[in-house]
Each structure stands twice: as structure tokens, then as C-alpha cells.
Structure 1
Amino acid sequence: MAMLEITPLRYFLSAYETGSISRAAQVNAVSQPSVSAAIQRLERELGGSLFLRSRRGLVTTPLGEQLYREAAPSVTHLADLSTRLRPHPRQRLRIYCHPDVLLSPFSVPLQALVRRRQELLPEFCDQAEVCDIACVAESCAPSGYAFLPLWEEGYGVALPAGHRLAQAGVLRPEDIAAEPRIHRPYCPKADVLHEVEAGRGMPPPHGAAAVNDQQVLDLVAAGLGIALVPLRHAGCHPGVAVRPLTEVPEVRRTVGLAYRKTVLAREIAAELAAEAKE
């Protein structure tokens, strides 16, 4: 049997780690047919299937699991060879932060990580499917990634710090029925309050739309509306107060770190999690 080439193996590792042919193509900056052809070539050379296709993505066969265990250390070692041979080697760490997660709780752990691992070159990306580490709620973790939970939280109402309701202990939907809303269309939980209000015959909310939660807090502080946000956002903006909301179904989420199934990503996620919990 001929020696297996490193490029098809690299495409195979990416497909295994991301759980998707299309995402493997994105990670390697090649076309999807190129990845599919490379995996098919490996399957012919090895005499068996490496993946089974399902609606949820790729399912690795026993042969695929064995190939990953055997090939991953060598391919990773060779792929990083040019970086290690440079006078000051740096290793990219691609980080994604979902729009409904604030980066501030991760800032100190990231700073500690960079001081400790000076070989890392962190960079933020705008696509979860190509990152190494993602700061996300569990329901938003990219397909094929492992998830390390950090905390669980509920939701409340974000109001300007000087708002007449900012000092209230808890709020009811009726208290905020006339307030304009800052829409958070990227959040899976965003429609819960709207559904409750609609069921009570309240008028639909109106107001600005945001692209991430940091912008939400800025818009709330500017007096352009209120928003349903995670309770841990309290204290993250000096111009915003967050108050619990009663008489609505309880909504909760688990926030943590999603990471690609690579040795580096797993190690970094564990280090960041340990720092974040201290």
C-alpha cells in the first residue's frame, strides 16, 4: 500500500474535528469537493468507510476513529513544523464570541493565558464554524464541537440606570408594556417575553435592533429602549440596571466554552475555564 499523503489526511482530520465536510473546507480554505475527494481517496486506499453521513453531520466509523488516533499526532506535528522552525514561533488561536455573550467575563482569563503561553497568537473570527474556541451558550455551540460549561443563568430586564423602574425589586410584564424594546434577533431566547405579552393582548414591542449584547447595553444606557438580557449582564455597563422579571415562564441557559476536538483547543478551553472559575 502506498504511503498516505499529508494533505488528504489533514482534510480528514478537519472533517473529524468539525463534524462537517463544508466546515473542513472552510478551515482549509479549499472547496468542498476537494475535501470529499480527498476523503474518498483515503477510503479507497484503506479499504473502508471513514464516515457515515447523517442529518446531524458526519458520524465517524471505527476505521475513522483508528485513523484519527494514528494520524493526528504526526499530521499536527508536521503541519506546525514551519512555525516551530521560525526564530519566534507563534500559533494562531481563533476565538469566536456569540453575539448574546459578553466578552468581559473572559477578558482576565484570556489575558492570563496570553501571558502564560506567549507562543499563542489569539485572533477573533466572525464565524463559529472555523474557530478553535467559542464563548457561547450551550444551545449555540457549533456542531461537532465539545462543550465545557461554566455557569448557568436566567434572564431579566435591562433598563437605563436612571429609569423610574431601575430600583424595583422585580418587574412584571405589565410594568414594561409601554416601553420600547431593543431587539436581540440573534438570541434563541429573545422571543419568550414577546410571546408572553402577545398572549396577554399587549401591543407588540417597538424599538431599535442590535447586532450583539454589548450594543444592546449601549442602546439601553442611551435611553433608546429596554431589553430582555441574561441576569449576569448586571454590572457590566455603568449606565444599565438589570432587574428580574416575574409572572413569565422561567428561561435559563448554560454558558461556557465550545472547542474543536484538537489537543490544543481542549487544553486552552480547560485553562480558560479554570481561570474563569477562580
Structure 2
Amino acid sequence: MAELETRELEYFIAVAEELHFGRAAERLAIAQPALSKAIRRIESRLGVPLLVRTSRHVSLTPAGEALLRHGRHALNAVGAAARSARRAGDAQARLRLVIKPGGDANLLSGILAEYARTPDARRVDILFGGATDRADHVRDGRADVALLYAPFDDLTGLDHRTLAVEGRVAILPVGHRLAARDELRLADLDGETLPRWKGVPRAGVVDEGSGPEVSDVPQLIQLIMVGRTVAVLPRSLTEPAHPGLVYRPVVDAPPNQMVIAWSRLDQRPLVASFVEAAVAAGGFRDAQEAA
């Protein structure tokens, strides 16, 4: 089987994401007939149908779903390789750190101060990502390191060190049946409407929710306040407290880890120095290090 070119992957991914040839062609700035011809050529080369086409609908076949999933990773890898090569040859390269707004567990200032004291410290550019895409920033080379929450964030392809461990807290509207309790267990939340995080199949604490889809904590807070859902979050993401909500520790929820993560392929001293400074600032040592 012949390999696909990156341009062909870009064409297919655009169609697979839009599920509409017209919108995909507009996104790619090419003519729709040329795009349709390119997709047929890919299917012919692979020997499998990738799309089901009707006059009103386009959908992915199982083969198409597989190519979309792996094709995204392949394009990310190509982009990351090019960016890494440029940065490796740049003696004045800055370090780029991606975080979630308000999602640093109050560690960022200490980390930056600790790193500034290292002899080879460079300028650190702070990038802001969404609730679920910060790991992708590192995988595709847009960022060098990220502050992530485990097990919530997908760490596939990344190395990481733990900076802090914290408990989880249930957020409930005032007047909720559980609001009067001092602490909760996961079983107490059985039957509750839980949110679905956009881009995350499982929330990392309990099974995927059946409630409204949310992209970030502010959206979630609004929905909890009007009684549409409840949620379990790392303690640091529940601050500051919002009037009209109550916060109760969930004593048997798996603890959350704040981690510093970087690409397994990135062995630059620039990154290693920042990681060590972050670990020192966090003051956490995992069990293996402490033994």
C-alpha cells in the first residue's frame, strides 16, 4: 500500500471534520470537484471506502474514523518535527508554556521565580489553552511544556512529572439534597446529572455524564447555578468560591495530580531545566523518588 502525502491527509481530515464537501473545499481554498477527486483517489489507493455519501449526508466509515484518528496524529507529528528543528537551531529560543486560565493550582508564580534563578533561564511565553486541548499544544509543537491535570488530560506521547496532588470537590447548587452534608462519597452522586466535557470521552472521576456539554469551568458554573448539573473538580479549580454554590469534598474520589508535561521526543536542555525548576517549586516528590 502506497503511503499518503501530507496534503492528501489534510484534504481528508477537512472533509471528515466538516462532513460536507462544500465547507471543506472552502476551508482548504480549493475547488469542490478537485477535492472530491482527491478523496476518491485516496480511497482507491487504500482499497477501502472512507466516506458514505448521499445527496444530503456525508458520514465516516470505520476505515474513515481510523484514518481521521491516526491522520491527525501524523500531521501533528510532521508539524512538531518542523517546529522542533527550527527551535533546536535557534540559540535564542524562548520557552513556551501552555496553561488553562486559572488552572495552575497557584503554582505558576513560584515556578517562574524558580526558573528565573537558573543560569540558563530564557524568556517564558505563557500561552492559554482550553479545558481539553493543552496536551495537543505540546504534541504538535505549539508549546514546549504544559501544566496539565491527571488523569483528566490525555498524556499520550508525553513525559511528565508530578508537581502537586490535591483532592476533588463536588460543586452543588444551594438547596441541593446533598448540600447539608460536610463531605460526600462518589456513591452519593449516583443518579445526579453530570456534565460532558467537550473533547473528553470520560471525566476522569466518574463515568461519562449524561448532562450538558461544557468547554470550560465558567460555563460549568453557570449551569450548576441554574440547577442543570453538578460536578466534581480538582480543589484548585473551585476557587474562588461562587455565591449560590456549595463545595463539598468527595473523600473517595481519586486524587488529582497537577503535572508538568513535555514531548517524549524533546530532549533539549531548555526543557529539562524548566521541568526541574517546576518540580523544585512544586515541592512534590513521588513515592519512587522519596524511597
Query: TM class by shorter-chain length?
Result: 0.5 to 0.7
Equivalent runs, 1:93-172 vs 2, <5 Å: 93-97=95-99, 102-109=103-110, 112=113, 119-124=123-128, 126=133, 127-129=137-139, 130=141, 131-139=143-151, 140=153, 142-160=155-173, 163=176, 165-171=178-184
Q: Aligned in 2, Cα 1:118/1:222: closer, same or farther, shift over 3 Å? A: farther
Q: Do 1:235 and 1:241's aligned partners in 2 also have CA atoms closer than 8 Å?
A: no
Equivalent runs, 1:265-276 vs 2, <5 Å: 265-276=271-282
How far apart, CA to CA, are the structure 2 residues paired with 1:111 and 1:167?
40
Q: Aligned in 2, Cα 1:80/1:123: closer, same or farther, shift over 3 Å? A: same
| Other-structure match for 1:62 | none
3-state SS of paired residue (2:213): coil
How far apart, CA to CA, are the structure 1 residues paired with 2:99 and 2:193?
27
How far apart, CA to CA, are the structure 2 residues paired with 1:182 and 1:251?
18
* Alignment equivalent of 2:268, drawn from 257, 262, 273: 262
| Other-structure match for 1:207 | 211
Q: Do 1:160 and 1:241's aligned partners in 2 also have CA atoms closer than 8 Å?
A: yes
| Other-structure match for 1:27 | 80
How far apart, CA to CA, are the structure 1 residues paired with 2:204 and 2:259?
22
Identity percentage of aligned residues: 23
Deviations for 1:23-51, whole angstroms, at most 9, x for unmatched residues?
44212458xxxx9xxxxxxxxxxxxxxxx
Q: Structure 1 residue 242 and structure 2 residue 234: aligned? A: no
Q: Aligned in 2, Cα 1:110/1:188: closer, same or farther, shift over 3 Å? A: farther
How far apart, CA to CA, are the structure 2 residues paired with 1:29 and 1:109?
32
How far apart, CA to CA, are the structure 1 residues paired with 2:226 and 2:206?
22
| Unmatched 5+ stretches in structure 1 | 1-19, 36-71, 84-90, 196-204
One-letter amino acid of the structure 2 residue matched with residue 210 of structure 1: V
3-state SS of paired residue (2:162): strand
Q: Which shifted more, 176-185 or 251-260?
A: 176-185
Deviations for 1:114-155, whole angstroms, at most 9, x for unmatched residues?
866563333345523122112123454544432111223443
| Unmatched 5+ stretches in structure 2 | 1-72, 285-291
3-state SS of paired residue (2:168): strand
One-letter amino acid of the structure 1 residue matched with residue 281 of structure 2: E
Q: Do 2:172 and 2:230's aligned partners in 1 also have CA atoms closer than 8 Å?
A: yes
Question: What is the TM-score of this pair, normalised by structure 2?
Answer: 0.50
Q: Do 2:167 and 2:253's aligned partners in 1 also have CA atoms closer than 8 Å?
A: yes
How far apart, CA to CA, are the structure 2 residues paired with 1:103 and 1:26?
27
Q: Do 2:100 and 2:128's aligned partners in 1 also have CA atoms closer than 8 Å?
A: no
Q: How many residues align?
A: 195
One-letter amino acid of the structure 2 residue matched with residue 94 of structure 1: R
Question: What is the TM-score of this pair, normalised by structure 1?
Answer: 0.52
One-letter amino acid of the structure 2 residue matched with residue 80 of structure 1: D
* Alignment equivalent of 1:92, drawn from 81, 85, 94: 94
Deviation at 1:102, TM superposition (A): 2.1
